[in-house]
Amino acid sequence: MKKFFKITVLASAVSLLAACGQEAQADKATDIKAYSEDQQAAYAIGSIVARNLVAPLKRQEELGAPLDKTIIVQGITDALNETTQLSDEELQAVLKAYDEKMNTLSTEAARVESEKAQADAVNFFAENGKKEGITTTDSGLQYEVLTAGTGDVAKPSDTVTVHYTGSLLDGKVFDSSVERGEPATFALNRVIPGWTEGVALMNVGSKYKLYIPSELGYGAQGAGADIPPNSTLVFEVELLEIAGQEK
């Protein structure tokens, strides 16, 4: 489980913030560009360190366990003045306990999000399957023919060249060969089941929209930060070529 706070990170933050100098805080109205080169470097270091804390602080707030930024500043100030009110052992114990709390909250949040994604998928496929032009296969895959091609039909064992754009139900694009400006080539038996089945329905020159349920996609594991667990995937796929065929 990913740690939200690491003692080494906080220790580094405190030590680097020491380089910021207390003059900048004493006179916030002063234009930083008017500072000396060394002072600007100190300011830059402090800014970068603070930015590294923004994302975890926002995540903790989202999980219902916000940290008081005023007290964070107090901790940094005390450390700079060598008047820290907790021993190293106490600091480690406090951060360890908070880490455990955040991991518990994160696990619960992931469970709730996963269950919501499953419920949303059930509703989506039920309604989407009623639309004109949508075909539902025995596996639960749904597809829509955007452009009907006249070439050969791909087989699950074929290697194909395609252009595609993949998104989530909320419209967020997580991958696109179209945006990269370069088509992708791969063996159909080496991709997610929804792709293997969907592209094997297509003729060369056709363009389909595939609606892939999570069990035919990345399932309960998801795929990195871009594809959460139990995500329904929506792909627009254009089949350009089947390997080994004459163009």
Computed over every residue of the chain, the mean pLDDT equals 84
Of the residues 158, 211, 218, 227, which is catalytic? 218
pLDDT at residue number 30: 64
Per the annotation, the verdict on 175 as an active-site residue is yes
Of the residues 99, 174, 211, 212, which is catalytic? 174
Cα–Cα distance measured from residue 60 to residue 106, given in angstroms and rounded to the nearest whole number: 9
Give per-residue pLDDT as tens, 124-180.
999 999 999 999 999 999 999 999 999 999 888 899 999 999 999 999 999 999 999
pLDDT at residue number 32: 80
Show the beta-strand stretches assigned E in the chain: 134-136, 142-147, 159-168, 173-176, 184-187, 207-212, 233-242
Of the residues 164, 208, 212, 227, which is catalytic? 164
pLDDT at residue number 245: 59
pLDDT grade for 19, boundaries at 50, 70 and 90: very low
Query: Top-level CATH class of 134-242?
Result: alpha beta
Per the annotation, the verdict on 211 as an active-site residue is no
- The secondary structure of 73-131 as a DSSP string is HHHHHHHHTT--SS-HHHHHHHHHHHHHHHHHHHHHHHHHHHHHHHHHHHHHHHHHTTS
What residue ranges do the domains of the chain occupy? Answer: 134-242
Q: In this structure, are residues 93 and 86 in contact, taking their beta carbons and an 8 Å threshold?
A: no
Q: Which residues of 69-81 are buried (b: 16+ CB within 10 A; e: fewer)?
A: eeeeeebbeebbe
Give per-residue pLDDT as tens, 174-232.
999 999 999 999 999 999 999 999 999 999 999 999 999 999 999 888 888 889 889 99
Which one is predicted more confidently, 98 or 244? 98
pTM, entire model: 0.66
Of the residues 7, 45, 134, 192, which is catalytic? 192
Torsion of CA 197, 198, 199, 200, to 10 degrees: 40
